[in-house]
Structure 1
Amino acid sequence: MIATEPDDPIMLSALQHWSYCPRQCALIHLEQAFDENVHTMRGNAVHKRVDEPGFETFEGVRSERSLPVWSEQLGLIGKCDVVEFYPDGRIHPVEYKHGKKRIKIHDDLQLAAQAICLEEMMGKPVTHGSIYHHSSRRRREVVITTTLRTQVKEAVAAIRLLLASGTLPPPVNDARCKECSLKDICQPAVLAQKSDYQTAQTELFIIDD
């Protein structure tokens, strides 16, 4: 496991991974571990088109695909699936997800981080973005609030500490693990059982006065 330097840029995707599960974030961004499952394969299929750089214009709205973005202030780097540029000057990032329309804070954090990057690059406010849910073919608009911006900054600080420490957080072993593609690598149930065994072994030899 290799710890990162304090000034190394953080990938935008790390915010989503950290918000979902800090251990998942460390496995991917510290140990470079990754595996496929049905969810990641569906996600890859959804992203296939928007992963190809290019643009198109419809009714005056220019849509840029796979647009590289960064923030020197926060030390972030990555790309937006789609960024829409409107004739009135509005800038609207759109993040593609394979699931049905539903609110997920880890998706919103990633989108808000994209908005912050675009603001710094373009010198214009980015007040809204959208999550496009492929399964339901619907958009969910996200307001880039002050609260969400603060959460992005706090997440970036936490991720930077995590990556600099080089320490793998313990497994959560809860409902999140069921859909995680790293479940076999992480071994949450096995490690949780080991922890329970060590606790029981310690308590076995406690003598009350």
Structure 2
Amino acid sequence: MVYDEEDFLMLSGIQHFAFCRRQWALIHIEQLWEENLRTVEGNLLHEKCHDGYSSESRKEVLLSRGIPIFSRSLGASGECDIVEFRKSIEGITLHGREGHYTVYPVEYKHGEPKDSDIDILQLTAQAICLEEMLSCEITDGAIFYGKIKRRQKVVLTNELKARVKSLFAEMHGYFQSGYIPKVKPTKSCNACSLKNLCLPKLCKMKPVSDYLEQNLGTEEV
């Protein structure tokens, strides 16, 4: 499926969606947001990565910051923190540059590597956008974690790319229908910036109709 530009979702939303579908829906459908320490620190780290588009050369590598990206197959748009164009025998040509280059996206995160793959999915989504825009194949990328101050290399497999496409298709379905899913409360809810807006404990409560039926019964006519 190919999406029109007016139907594009925020590319970064895949991280919210993979973490908690309800969190994603509250942010991207209900337009709710609340800052906490983690979101503020994360935003400050991203501001250090780029302030608008810029580029610089470092030997055999061209670093580009804040590249706007999009994908019609995902129906998403966003920005890359950093894309490294590495000079190589194989790869793509760049306007105004000699030789060929491979494309290596780098995503910046404030914390440390997670047990889940939500950061990896966001990086994979960026790679899909770059592949479509530059007519290339991207097999590797990296995530820089501010807490440990080093990169973690990521192999961008076809399985990861297929999962990202499946998740975005699900996101579009939710968005088009305006569906706000319920959530099963977990320990992760305590760290969520939307905890006070989501009220996860309420999702465990039974509907009023169930209460009335159980406690009052139904009158026979």
Q: Does 1:155 align with 2:167?
A: yes
Answer whether contact 1:131 1:141 (CA < 8 A) is retained: yes
Which residue of 2 is the match for residue 59 of structure 1? 59
- How far apart are 1:44 and its partner, in Å? 0.9
Which residue of 1 is the match for residue 203 of structure 2? 192
- How far apart are 1:103 and its partner, in Å? 4.5
Over residues 28-54 of structure 1, what are the superposed CA-to-partner deviations in whole Å (9 max), with x where a residue is unaligned? 111111110011011011111123121
**TM-score scaled by length of structure 2:** 0.83
Answer whether contact 1:46 1:98 (CA < 8 A) is retained: yes
**TM-score scaled by length of structure 1:** 0.88
| C-alpha RMSD of matched pairs (Å) | 2.1
Which residue of 2 is the match for residue 85 of structure 1? 85
Whole-Å separation in 1 of the counterparts to 2:112 and 2:119: 13
Alignment coverage as a number of residue pairs: 201
Whole-Å separation in 2 of the counterparts to 1:196 and 1:182: 22
Q: Residue type of the partner of 2:140? A: H
Whole-Å separation in 1 of the counterparts to 2:177 and 2:5: 10
Which residue of 2 is the match for residue 130 of structure 1? 142
Whole-Å separation in 1 of the counterparts to 2:56 and 2:184: 43
SS of equivalent to 2:64: strand
- How far apart are 1:69 and its partner, in Å? 0.5
Whole-Å separation in 1 of the counterparts to 2:158 and 2:213: 46
Answer whether contact 2:65 2:82 (CA < 8 A) is retained: yes
Is the deviation greater in 49-58 or in 86-95? 49-58
Which residue of 2 is the match for residue 19 of structure 1? 18
Q: Residue type of the partner of 2:63? A: S
Is the deviation greater in 119-128 or in 94-103? 94-103
* Uncovered stretches (5+) of structure 1, i.e. residues with no partner: none
- How far apart are 1:13 and its partner, in Å? 1.0
- How far apart are 1:195 and its partner, in Å? 2.9
Greater C-alpha radius of gyration: 2
- How far apart are 1:58 and its partner, in Å? 1.3
Whole-Å separation in 2 of the counterparts to 1:193 and 1:124: 47
Q: Residue type of the partner of 2:148? A: S
Which residue of 1 is the match for residue 98 of structure 2? none
Whole-Å separation in 1 of the counterparts to 2:74 and 2:183: 28
Consecutive aligned runs of 4 or more in structure 1 exceeding 2 Å deviation:
101-104, 192-206
Whole-Å separation in 2 of the counterparts to 1:201 and 1:102: 44
Answer whether contact 2:5 2:75 (CA < 8 A) is retained: no
The verdict on how the C-alpha distance between 1:102 and 1:193 changes in structure 2, with shifts beyond 3 A counting, is: closer
The verdict on how the C-alpha distance between 1:57 and 1:185 changes in structure 2, with shifts beyond 3 A counting, is: same
Q: Residue type of the partner of 1:194? A: M
